[in-house]
C-alpha cells in the first residue's frame, strides 16, 4: 500500500500546476452546474413506496385521492360567517384554489361546490338541493338565513363548516403530475401559490386564512430551510475563528476552508448534473460536507505544522502530510461514504437521496482535502517566526497530553471501562423505550409555534374532523356494495374499529348507507340498518356519489375511514394491529381489508419501514466500519478499540432520543448512520498512529501518548468544530433540523470523547501484554 | 391427529358462538340505542343486538344475547324481558336479563319489529313494518302472525275487497305491502293504542284482535300515541306534528314551529308533557295543551309557537328516540347512546 502512496505522492507533487489547473477547471464547471440547482420536494419521496400499505395506496389513489390534500379554512374574525364579506371571500378562495395548477378540479369541495347538498325528509319523501342555491346573493340577509338553514340540514357542521360557525373549509386533492406538462408536480411552486394567491390575497383584518396539507407543510419547510444560508454563514465564521486559533496563520485558515467549500460546490454541481435537486428535508447535507471537509483539513494542517517544526520546508511538510494522511484520511472518508451509502437500503426516496447526496459530498472531500489541500499548502512559506510560535504551543500541550494519556493506565482504564459498561447498560435500557414515528401533534418537521402547526391546531379545534385519518381499503368484487353480506362485514368491522382506543370516529359506505336507509324510512332511526333487500340496499347506496370518497365506480373498493385522535406511533400501531386482528373474522377470498391510505396510513407504512430499517442499517454501517478497520489495521484488537466506543455512543444517542422525546422518523433515522460514519474518523486517526507505534514495540501508554501528540489536538479540534457547526441548527425554525442538530452535536462530541478516553482504556486491556505496569 | 381435529372443532364452535353473540363493545353506551324500559332495573336495547342493564341508572352492563340484529323495542313484566327488532327477531329473558334465548327470527321476511308489548306474562304482541303483527299466548314459545285490515282507511279496504273478489293470491300480496308500518303500541288500562305510518292512529279494546281507526286530518306518519289523562289523547309524529284529542272529539293541531320528527312522548307530571325527537329536539308542552288552526304541511317561516309550547335542542343534536324516568332521573336513548335529560 505504501508503494501506491509513494507513487501517488510523486505523481501529484511533480505536477502541482497541472493538479491545481485540473481542480480549477472542474470547480468552474461544477460551480456553474451548482448554480442551476433548485429546491425540490415531492410527496412520494417521503413515503416507502414499496411497502405493502403503500402498494394499496398507490393502486387506489386515482379513485380516492390519496393522502395529498390541501385544507383551507377561511375564518371570520368576528366569529360568525354569515355576512356578505365572508361568503364573497369564501367563493373567491374556492375559485382561486380551483384554478391553481396541480389541484384536482373534480375534488375541490366547499359550501360553493355543487356537490355540497342538503336533503330533508318531508311527507312522502325527500326534498333537497345545493346548500348555496344558484341565485345566491350574499348581500341579501334572507339568502344568508336560508344558507344557514341548509347547512344544518346538510349535516356538514363540523366538517365543511366549523362547529361554532366561525370558519368554513375548502378542501382539494393534489395531482401527482402537472396536468399541463405531464412532469411531476412542483410542490414548492404550488405551496407558494397557496401562500400568495390564497393567504396573501384574502387574509385581512376581518378574514384569516389557514392552510394545511402536505404541500403547504413542505413549502413552509422549504422557507425555513432557506435560513440554512444564515446558519451556514455563522458556522463558517465560527469555524474560521477556530481554525485560526488552531493554526495561528491566516493562510492556513483560508486554505482548508476554501478546499472544504470547493467540496460543497462540487457536491452540488454533481447533484445537479445527475438531475437531483436539493430537498428541504436534506438541506443540511452540504453543511455536513463542509464540516467534515474542515475536520480533515485540520488534520492536514496539523501534520504539515508538525513536520515544519522538525525543520522541513513547506513542500516537504505537505508531501509528508499527504503521504501520512492519505491512508487514514482516505479510510476515514471512505467509511463515512460507506456509512452514508448504507442508508440506500432504506426504501424511502428521501433517505436514498440523502444517502446519495452525502456520499457524493464525502467522496469529493477525498479529492479536495487529501489532494488539493496538501498541494496548495506546499506553496506556503512557513517562516521561522511561525514555526517558533507553534513550537511553544506544542510544549504547552505536552503536559495536557501526558495527563490524558493516563486513560491507558491500569486503574483509570478499568474505571473508564466500568463506567462505559454502566452507560451501555443504561443506554440499552433507555433505547428500548425509543419511540418510532412522530410523538407530537401537528407537523413534526416544524415547531409547535409555527404558523402551519398553529393552523393545524385551529382546524382540529374548530372542526370535528381530523386530518389524522387512516383508510382501510375494502377490496372486493364489482357491485359488491349491493351485497348485504359484504356490507354487513364492513359495518361490523367498522364498529369493532370504532371501539379501538385512539379511533375517534369512522365512516364507510356501509355506515352512510344505514343513515340513508333511515332517511328513506322517514328519518326514523329505528331503520338505521343495512337493508337485507337488495333493491332497498341499492336505493340507499345510489344516493352516495363516488365523490364522497367512500366507493369507486363499480364499488369493488370501499374504504373504511378511521379518524384518529392523534398520530402518535403507539396509537397508529394499536389501530393497525387491531385492523390486522379483526379483519381475519371478515375476510373471504373475495373480500379483503387492505391497509392503508390516508395520511395516517402513510405514517403507518413509514413508521414500519423506519422501524424495520433501523437494525439492518446499524448492522450495515457497523459492518462496513468493521470491515474497513480490519482492512486498514489488519488487527482485530485495533478494530475492537475503534468500534466498541462507537457502538456505545450510538446506543447512548438512542437513549438521548428517548430522553428528549425525539421519535425515530425519516429525518432522525439517518442521524445515527451519519454519526457513526463520521465518528469513526477520530478513532481511525488516533489508532493509525498507535498501531504503527505498537507494531514497533511501544507500550500502549507510549503509543497512545505519541498518537495524542501527533493527532490529539486535531482530533479534539475536529470534534469541537463539527459539533459547533451542527449545534447552530438548534436555532433552526425547523423542528427536525433542531432534532438532527442536537443528535449530531451529541454524536460528534461524545464520539470524540470516546476516541480519546474509552479507546485507550480498551487498548490497555486488549494489548494487556504491552504495558508499563 | 385427534388433537388438532378437536382443536379445530373447538375453534369452529367458538367462532359460531362469536358470530351470534353481541360483541362486548367498550363504546356500547354511545351506540345507536332505540328503546328503554324500566322496572326494578333499566333495560335499554339498540343496534347490533345491544342490550344494556342497570340497577342504578348510571352504570350499565351489556348483556350477552344470541343475536346481532338491531333491536328496536323492549318490554318487561317483573323478571321477564322481551326485546324485538330487525330480521323479525324476538329474544326473551326470564331472569331479569342475565340469560337470553331466541324466541323468534325471520330474516327472510326482510321486515323489522318496531314495538312489542305484553298484557301479562303469557300474552303479548309484537308489531312492525308493513302491518307485521305477531301474537303469543304462551309467553313467547309460539308466535303467530295476524293481519289487521281494520287498520286501513275505508278506501284501501274497499280496494282490497275488490281485489279479493277477483284473485285471492293477489289480494294476499297486496295486503302484505299495503298495511301501514306499526310504529308504536301503547297499553293503558286494558286499552291498546296504536300509532303508524301515513296518518294511522287506532285503538283496540280487545287486546288488539280488532281495531278502530281514529280519523285525523294528516297523512304523515305517527310515532307515538299516549293518553295523558282520562279525556286527553296525544299523538306525535313526522316533521314535528303534534295532535291532541279531547273527550273523543276531533284531533286538533298543536303548533310548535319545529319540523324535527318526534319519536316519543314523555309524561313528566300533570303540568307538562314532553315530545322527544330527531335533531335532539325536546318540545315542552304545558297542559292543558293549546291548539290552533294550522296547516301541518306548511313550512314554519316566521312561525310563533303557541303559548306554553317551546322547542329546544340538546347540545349534541342527536336524535332522541325514547326516554324513561328512573330513580328521579330521566334517561333518554339517542342515536348517540344513553343521555341523561335535564328537562327543567
- When CB atoms are compared, the residue of B26, B70, B238 closest to A522 is B238
Q: DSSP code of A226?
A: T
Place of cell 334572507: A142
Say how many Å lie between the first and final Cα of chain A, rounded.
Answer: 35
Query: Which positions in chain A touch B263 (Cβ < 8 Å)?
Result: 524-525
Query: Which positions in chain A touch B68 (Cβ < 8 Å)?
Result: 492
- When CB atoms are compared, the residue of B48, B110, B239 closest to A533 is B110
**DSSP one-letter string for B300-319:** -TT--PPTTEEEEE-TT-PP
- Give the bridge partners for B82, in sequence order: B75, B92
- Give the span between the Cα atoms of B108 and B87, in whole angstroms: 7
Any alpha helices (H) in A103-227, and if so which ranges?
A: 141-154, 187-193, 201-202, 214-225
So what's the ipTM on this one? 0.91
Architecture of the CATH domain A403-432+635-773: Up-down Bundle (1.20)
- Give the span between the Cα atoms of A759 and B168, in whole angstroms: 102
User: What is the overall mean pLDDT for chain A?
Assistant: 85
Hey, are the CB atoms on B68 and A492 less than 8 Å from each other? yes
Neighbouring CB atoms inside 10 A of A763's CB total: 30
* Between residues A773 and A762, the one the model is more confident about: A762
pLDDT one-digit tens code per residue, A728-762: 888 888 888 888 889 989 998 999 999 989 998 99
Hey, are the CB atoms on B47 and A522 less than 8 Å from each other? no
Phi, psi of A436 (to 5 degrees): -95, 140
- Give the residue from B68, B83, B110 with the most A CB atoms within 10 Å of its CB, the best one to mutate: B110
- Give the span between the Cα atoms of A230 and B304, in whole angstroms: 68
Architecture of the CATH domain B180-344: 7 Propeller (2.130)
Residue A309 has pLDDT above 90, yes or no: no
Hey, are the CB atoms on B278 and A526 less than 8 Å from each other? no
Contact A518, A524 (CB under 8 A): yes
Mean pLDDT of A620-626: 87
- Give the residue from B45, B69, B70, B129 with the most A CB atoms within 10 Å of its CB, the best one to mutate: B70
- Give the span between the Cα atoms of A711 and A752, in whole angstroms: 12
pLDDT one-digit tens code per residue, B152-179: 988 888 988 888 888 888 888 888 888 9
Beta carbon pairs, A and B, within 8 Å:
68
- Give the span between the Cα atoms of B199 and B203, in whole angstroms: 13
Contact A749, A719 (CB under 8 A): yes
Query: Which positions in chain A touch B48 (Cβ < 8 Å)?
Result: 492, 495
* Between residues B198 and A346, the one the model is more confident about: B198
Mean pLDDT of A599-625: 87
SS3 of residue B202 by DSSP: strand
Hey, are the CB atoms on B297 and A123 less than 8 Å from each other? yes
For position B10, what pLDDT does the model report? 38
Mean pLDDT of A15-24: 91
Residues 6+ away with beta carbon under 8 Å from A730: A738, A741, A742, A745
Residue B246 has pLDDT above 70, yes or no: yes
Mean pLDDT of B259-281: 88
Contact B221, B238 (CB under 8 A): yes
For position B61, what pLDDT does the model report? 92
Is the bond leading into A157 cis (omega within 30 degrees of zero)? no
Contact A722, A419 (CB under 8 A): no
Residues 6+ away with beta carbon under 8 Å from B205: B190, B191, B192
Distance from CA of B258 to the nearest CA of A (A): 13
Hey, are the CB atoms on A533 and B18 less than 8 Å from each other? no
Distance from CA of A149 to the nearest CA of B (A): 12
Confidence band, pLDDT 50/70/90 cuts, at residue A47: confident
Confidence band, pLDDT 50/70/90 cuts, at residue A124: low
The alpha carbon of residue A180 and the mean position of all alpha carbons in its chain are separated, in whole angstroms, by 30
Query: Which positions in chain A touch B239 (Cβ < 8 Å)?
Result: 121-123
- Give the residue from B27, B67, B217 with the most A CB atoms within 10 Å of its CB, the best one to mutate: B27
- Give the span between the Cα atoms of A428 and A651, in whole angstroms: 6
- When CB atoms are compared, the residue of A122, A123, A499 closest to B26 is A499
- Give the span between the Cα atoms of A182 and B258, in whole angstroms: 55
- Alpha-carbon distances, residue A761 vs A454, A622, A700, A765 (angstroms): 51, 21, 9, 7
- Which one of 1.10.10.60, 4.10.110.10, 1.20.1640.10, 3.40.50.9100 gives the CATH number of domain A1-35+232-382? 1.20.1640.10
* Between residues A283 and B210, the one the model is more confident about: B210
- Give the span between the Cα atoms of A526 and B112, in whole angstroms: 9
- Check for a shared fold between A1-35+232-382 and A403-432+635-773: yes
- Give the residue from A524, A532, A584, A587 with the most B CB atoms within 10 Å of its CB, the best one to mutate: A524
Confidence band, pLDDT 50/70/90 cuts, at residue B300: low
pLDDT one-digit tens code per residue, A159-187: 888 888 889 899 888 887 777 787 777 88
Mean pLDDT of A210-229: 82
For position B15, what pLDDT does the model report? 37
Place of cell 299523538: B235
For position B16, what pLDDT does the model report? 37
Alpha carbon dihedral A329, A330, A331, A337, in 10-degree steps, equals 110
Task: Give the chain A residue whose CA is nearest to the CA of B84.
Answer: A526
Distance from CA of B336 to the nearest CA of A (A): 11
User: What is the overall mean pLDDT for chain B?
Assistant: 86
For position A48, what pLDDT does the model report? 83
Residue A353 has pLDDT above 60, yes or no: yes
Lookup: cell for A267: 457536491
Ranges of each domain in chain A: 1-35+232-382, 66-223, 403-432+635-773, 468-604
- Alpha-carbon distances, residue A299 vs A235, A247, A542, B134, B257 (angstroms): 19, 11, 74, 96, 88
Long-range contacts of the stretch B125-128 (C-beta < 8 A, 24+): B125/B185, B125/B192, B125/B207, B125/B208, B126/B73, B126/B82, B126/B84, B126/B90, B127/B182, B127/B185, B127/B194, B128/B72, B128/B84, B128/B88, B128/B181, B128/B182
- Give the bridge partners for B332, in sequence order: B323, B339
pLDDT one-digit tens code per residue, A669-684: 888 888 887 888 888 8
pLDDT one-digit tens code per residue, B130-144: 999 999 999 999 999
Hey, are the CB atoms on B48 and A492 less than 8 Å from each other? yes
Distance from CA of A286 to the nearest CA of B (A): 53
pLDDT one-digit tens code per residue, A518-531: 888 888 899 999 99
Mean pLDDT of A354-382: 88
- Alpha-carbon distances, residue B215 vs A34, A637, B198, B239, B250 (angstroms): 89, 103, 12, 19, 8
Distance from CA of A499 to the nearest CA of B (A): 6
pLDDT one-digit tens code per residue, A677-734: 788 888 888 888 888 888 888 888 888 888 888 888 888 888 888 888 788 888 888 8
Is the bond leading into B288 cis (omega within 30 degrees of zero)? yes
Hey, are the CB atoms on A528 and B32 less than 8 Å from each other? yes
Lookup: cell for A29: 464547471
Q: DSSP code of A770?
A: S
Residues of B with CB under 8 A from a CB of A: 15, 18, 23, 25-27, 31-32, 34, 47-48, 68, 70, 72, 86-87, 107, 110, 112, 114, 181, 183, 197, 219-221, 223, 238-239, 259, 261, 263, 278, 297, 319, 321, 335
- When CB atoms are compared, the residue of B114, B220, B319 closest to A123 is B220
Query: Which positions in chain B touch A529 (Cβ < 8 Å)?
Result: 47, 70, 86, 112
Task: Give the chain A residue whose CA is nearest to the CA of B16.
Answer: A585
Query: Which positions in chain A touch B223 (Cβ < 8 Å)?
Result: 524
Hey, are the CB atoms on B23 and A495 less than 8 Å from each other? yes
* Between residues A225 and A26, the one the model is more confident about: A26
For position A495, what pLDDT does the model report? 93
Confidence band, pLDDT 50/70/90 cuts, at residue B2: very low
For position B296, what pLDDT does the model report? 55
**DSSP one-letter string for B76-134:** EETTEEEEEEGGGEEEEESSTTSS-EEEE--GGG---EEEEEESSSS-EEEEEGGG-EE
- Give the residue from A503, A514, A525 with the most B CB atoms within 10 Å of its CB, the best one to mutate: A525
The alpha carbon of residue A463 and the mean position of all alpha carbons in its chain are separated, in whole angstroms, by 29
Distance from CA of B249 to the nearest CA of A (A): 25
Task: Give the chain A residue whose CA is nearest to the CA of B181.
Answer: A521
Mean pLDDT of A130-152: 82
Hey, are the CB atoms on B261 and A532 less than 8 Å from each other? no
- Give the span between the Cα atoms of A513 and A516, in whole angstroms: 5
Query: Which positions in chain A touch B335 (Cβ < 8 Å)?
Result: 525, 528
- When CB atoms are compared, the residue of A499, A526, A527 closest to B27 is A499
- When CB atoms are compared, the residue of A123, A499, A523 closest to B219 is A123
E strand or H helix at B192, and its extent? strand B191-196
Burial tier of A661 (Cβ tally within 10 Å: 0-12, 13-18, 19+): exposed
Residue A27 has pLDDT above 80, yes or no: yes
Q: DSSP code of A675?
A: H
Ranges of each domain in chain B: 34-119+126-134, 180-344
- When CB atoms are compared, the residue of A121, A523, A526 closest to B114 is A526
Query: Which positions in chain A touch B300 (Cβ < 8 Å)?
Result: none
- When CB atoms are compared, the residue of B23, B220, B321 closest to A525 is B321
Q: Which pTM does this prediction carry?
A: 0.83
Long-range contacts of the stretch A457-460 (C-beta < 8 A, 24+): A458/A73, A458/A75, A458/A210, A459/A71, A459/A73, A459/A169, A459/A210, A459/A212
Flag the least confident range among A34-43, A110-119, A412-421, B258-267: A34-43
- When CB atoms are compared, the residue of B25, B34, B219 closest to A525 is B34
Residue B17 has pLDDT above 70, yes or no: no
* Between residues A516 and B303, the one the model is more confident about: A516
Lookup: cell for A335: 467509511
Any alpha helices (H) in A65-140, and if so which ranges?
A: 84-99
Residue B271 has pLDDT above 70, yes or no: yes
Query: Which positions in chain A touch B36 (Cβ < 8 Å)?
Result: none
SS3 of residue A697 by DSSP: coil
Hey, are the CB atoms on A529 and B112 less than 8 Å from each other? yes
Neighbouring CB atoms inside 10 A of B168's CB total: 10
Query: Which positions in chain B touch A498 (Cβ < 8 Å)?
Result: 27
Hey, are the CB atoms on A526 and B321 less than 8 Å from each other? yes
CA neighbor of A76 nearest in space, from A181, A186, A196, A168: A168
- Give the span between the Cα atoms of B239 and A305, in whole angstroms: 95
For position B90, what pLDDT does the model report? 94
Lookup: cell for A235: 458556522
- Give the span between the Cα atoms of A676 and A662, in whole angstroms: 18
Contact B41, B97 (CB under 8 A): yes
Flag the least confident range among A285-299, A471-485, B284-298: B284-298
Lookup: cell for B203: 285503538
Distance from CA of A593 to the nearest CA of B (A): 18
Alpha carbon dihedral A16, A17, A19, A24, in 10-degree steps, equals 140
Residue B14 has pLDDT above 80, yes or no: no
Task: Give the chain B residue whose CA is nearest to the CA of A142.
Answer: B301
Mean pLDDT of A609-614: 86
Hey, are the CB atoms on B335 and A524 less than 8 Å from each other? no
Amino acid at each position: 500500500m505504501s508503494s501506491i502512496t509513494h507513487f501517488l505522492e510523486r505523481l501529484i507533487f511533480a505536477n502541482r500546476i497541472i493538479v491545481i489547473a485540473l481542480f480549477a477547471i472542474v470547480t468552474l464547471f461544477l460551480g456553474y452546474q451548482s448554480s442551476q440547482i433548485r429546491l425540490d420536494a415531492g410527496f412520494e419521496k417521503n413515503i416507502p413506496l414499496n411497502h405493502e400499505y403503500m402498494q394499496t395506496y398507490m393502486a387506489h389513489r386515482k379513485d380516492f385521492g390519496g393522502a395529498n390534500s390541501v385544507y383551507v379554512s377561511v375564518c371570520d374574525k368576528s366569529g360568525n360567517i354569515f355576512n356578505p364579506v365572508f361568503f364573497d371571500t369564501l367563493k373567491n378562495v374556492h375559485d382561486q384554489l380551483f384554478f391553481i395548477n396541480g389541484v384536482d378540479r373534480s375534488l375541490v369541495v366547499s359550501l360553493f361546490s355543487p356537490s355540497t347538498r342538503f336533503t330533508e325528509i318531508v311527507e312522502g319523501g325527500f326534498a333537497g338541493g345545493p346548500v348555496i342555491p344558484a341565485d345566491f346573493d350574499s348581500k341579501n340577509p334572507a339568502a344568508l338565513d336560508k344558507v344557514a338553514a341548509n347547512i344544518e340540514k346538510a349535516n356538514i357542521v363540523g366538517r365543511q363548516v366549523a362547529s361554532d360557525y366561525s370558519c368554513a373549509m375548502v378542501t382539494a386533492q393534489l395531482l401527482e403530475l402537472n396536468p399541463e406538462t405531464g412532469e411531476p408536480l412542483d410542490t414548492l411552486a404550488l405551496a407558494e401559490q397557496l401562500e400568495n394567491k390564497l393567504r396573501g390575497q384574502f387574509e385581512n383584518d376581518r378574514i384569516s386564512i389557514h392552510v394545511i396539507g402536505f404541500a403547504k407543510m413542505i413549502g413552509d419547510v422549504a422557507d425555513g430551510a432557506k435560513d440554512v444560508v444564515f446558519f451556514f454563514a455563522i458556522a463558517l465564521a465560527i469555524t474560521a475563528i477556530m481554525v485560526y486559533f488552531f493554526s495561528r496563520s491566516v493562510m492556513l485558515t483560508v486554505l482548508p476552508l476554501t478546499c472544504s467549500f470547493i467540496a460543497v460546490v462540487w457536491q452540488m454541481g454533481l447533484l445537479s448534473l445527475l438531475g437531483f435537486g436539493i430537498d428541504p428535508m436534506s438541506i443540511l447535507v452540504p453543511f455536513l460536507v463542509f464540516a467534515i471537509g474542515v475536520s480533515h483539513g485540520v488534520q492536514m494542517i496539523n501534520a504539515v505544522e508538525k513536520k515544519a517544526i522538525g525543520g522541513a520546508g513547506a513542500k516537504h511538510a505537505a508531501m509528508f502530510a499527504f503521504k501520512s494522511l492519505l491512508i487514514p484520511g482516505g479510510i476515514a472518508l471512505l467509511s463515512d461514504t460507506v456509512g452514508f451509502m448504507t442508508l440506500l437500503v432504506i426504501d424511502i426516496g428521501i433517505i436514498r437521496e440523502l444517502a446519495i447526496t452525502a456520499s457524493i459530498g464525502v467522496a469529493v472531500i477525498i479529492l479536495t482535502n487529501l489532494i488539493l489541500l496538501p498541494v496548495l499548502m506546499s506553496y506556503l512559506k512557513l517562516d521561522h517566526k511561525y514555526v517558533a510560535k507553534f513550537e511553544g504551543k506544542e510544549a504547552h500541550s505536552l503536559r495536557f497530553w501526558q495527563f490524558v494519556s493516563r486513560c491507558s493506565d491500569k486503574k483509570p482504564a478499568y474505571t473508564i471501562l466500568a463506567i462505559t459498561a454502566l452507560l451501555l447498560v443504561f443506554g440499552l435500557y433507555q433505547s428500548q423505550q425509543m419511540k418510532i414515528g412522530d410523538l407530537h401533534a401537528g407537523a413534526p418537521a416544524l415547531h409547535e409555534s409555527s404558523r402551519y402547526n398553529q393552523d393545524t391546531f385551529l382546524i382540529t379545534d374548530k372542526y370535528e374532523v381530523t386530518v389524522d385519518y387512516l383508510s382501510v381499503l375494502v377490496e372486493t368484487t364489482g357491485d359488491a356494495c349491493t351485497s348485504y353480506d359484504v356490507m354487513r362485514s364492513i359495518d361490523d368491522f367498522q364498529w369493532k374499529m370504532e371501539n379501538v382506543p385512539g379511533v375517534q370516529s369512522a365512516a364507510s359506505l356501509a355506515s352512510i348507507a344505514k343513515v340513508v336507509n333511515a332517511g328513506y324510512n322517514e328519518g326514523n332511526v329505528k331503520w338505521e340498518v343495512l337493508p337485507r333487500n337488495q333493491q332497498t340496499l341499492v336505493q340507499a347506496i345510489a344516493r352516495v356519489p363516488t365523490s364522497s370518497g367512500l366507493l369507486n365506480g363499480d364499488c369493488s373498493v370501499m374504504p373504511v375511514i378511521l379518524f384518529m385522535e392523534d398520530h402518535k406511533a403507539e396509537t397508529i400501531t394499536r389501530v393497525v394491529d387491531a385492523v390486522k386482528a379483526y379483519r381475519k373474522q371478515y375476510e373471504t377470498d373475495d373480500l379483503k381489508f387492505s391497509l392503508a391510505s390516508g395520511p395516517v396510513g402513510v405514517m403507518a407504512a413509514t413508521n414500519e419501514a423506519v422501524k424495520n430499517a433501523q437494525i439492518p442499517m446499524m448492522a450495515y454501517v457497523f459492518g462496513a466500519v468493521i470491515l474497513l478497520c480490519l482492512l486498514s489495521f489488519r488487527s482485530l484488537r485495533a478494530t475492537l478499540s475503534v468500534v466498541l466506543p462507537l457502538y456505545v455512543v450510538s446506543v447512548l444517542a438512542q437513549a438521548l432520543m428517548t430522553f428528549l422525546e425525539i421519535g425515530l422518523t425519516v429525518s432522525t433515522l439517518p442521524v445515527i448512520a451519519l454519526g457513526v460514519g463520521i465518528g469513526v474518523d477520530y478513532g481511525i486517526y488516533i489508532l493509525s498512529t498507535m498501531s504503527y507505534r505498537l507494531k514497533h514495540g511501544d507500550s500502549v501508554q507510549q503509543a497512545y501518548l505519541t498518537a495524542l501528540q501527533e493527532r490529539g489536538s486535531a482530533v479534539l479540534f475536529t470534534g469541537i468544530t463539527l459539533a459547533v457547526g451542527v449545534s447552530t441548527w438548534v436555532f433552526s425554525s425547523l423542528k427536525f433540523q433542531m432534532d438532527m442538530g442536537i443528535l449530531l452535536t451529541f454524536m460528534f462530541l461524545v464520539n470524540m470523547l470516546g476516541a480519546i478516553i474509552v479507546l485507550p482504556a480498551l487498548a490497555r486491556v486488549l494489548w494487556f501484554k504491552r504495558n508499563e505496569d | 391427529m385427534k388433537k388438532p381435529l378437536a382443536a379445530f372443532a373447538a375453534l369452529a364452535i367458538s367462532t359460531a358462538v362469536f358470530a351470534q353473540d353481541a360483541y362486548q363493545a367498550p363504546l356500547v353506551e354511545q351506540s345507536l340505542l332505540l328503546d328503554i324500559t324500566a322496572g326494578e332495573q333499566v333495560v335499554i336495547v339498540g343496534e347490533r343486538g345491544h342490550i344494556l342493564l342497570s340497577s342504578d341508572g348510571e352504570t350499565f352492563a351489556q348483556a350477552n344475547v344470541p343475536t346481532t340484529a338491531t333491536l328496536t323495542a323492549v318490554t318487561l313484566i317483573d323478571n321477564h324481558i322481551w326485546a324485538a327488532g330487525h330480521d323479525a327477531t324476538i329474544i326473551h329473558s326470564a331472569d331479569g336479563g342475565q340469560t337470553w334465548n331466541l324466541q323468534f327470527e325471520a330474516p327472510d321476511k326482510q321486515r323489522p319489529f318496531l314495538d312489542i308489548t305484553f298484557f301479562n306474562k303469557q300474552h303479548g304482541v309484537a308489531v312492525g313494518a308493513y302491518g307485521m303483527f305477531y301474537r303469543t299466548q304462551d309467553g313467547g314459545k309460539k308466535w303467530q302472525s295476524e293481519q289487521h285490515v281494520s287498520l286501513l282507511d275505508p278506501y284501501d279496504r274497499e280496494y282490497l275487497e275488490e281485489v279479493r273478489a277477483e284473485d285471492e293470491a293477489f289480494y294476499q300480496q297486496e295486503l302484505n305491502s299495503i298495511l301501514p308500518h306499526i310504529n308504536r303500541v301503547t297499553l293503558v288500562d286494558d286499552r291498546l293504542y296504536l300509532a303508524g305510518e301515513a296518518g294511522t292512529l287506532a285503538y283496540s279494546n280487545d287486546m288488539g284482535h280488532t281495531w278502530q281507526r281514529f280519523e285525523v286530518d294528516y297523512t304523515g306518519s305517527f310515532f307515538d300515541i299516549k293518553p295523558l289523562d282520562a279525556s286527553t289523547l296525544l299523538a306525535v309524529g313526522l316533521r314535528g306534528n303534534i295532535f291532541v284529542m279531547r273527550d273523543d272529539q276531533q284531533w286538533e293541531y298543536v303548533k310548535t314551529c319545529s319540523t324535527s320528527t318526534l319519536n316519543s312522548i314523555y309524561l313528566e307530571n300533570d303540568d307538562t308533557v314532553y315530545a322527544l325527537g330527531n335533531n335532539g329536539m325536546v318540545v315542552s308542552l304545558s297542559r292543558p295543551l293549546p291548539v290552533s288552526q294550522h296547516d301541518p304541511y306548511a313550512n314554519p317561516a316566521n312561525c310563533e309557537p303557541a303559548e306554553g309550547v317551546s322547542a329546544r335542542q340538546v347540545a349534541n343534536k342527536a336524535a332522541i328516540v325514547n326516554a324513561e324516568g328512573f330513580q328521579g332521573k330521566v334517561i333518554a336513548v339517542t342515536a348517540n347512546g344513553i343521555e341523561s335529560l335535564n328537562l327543567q
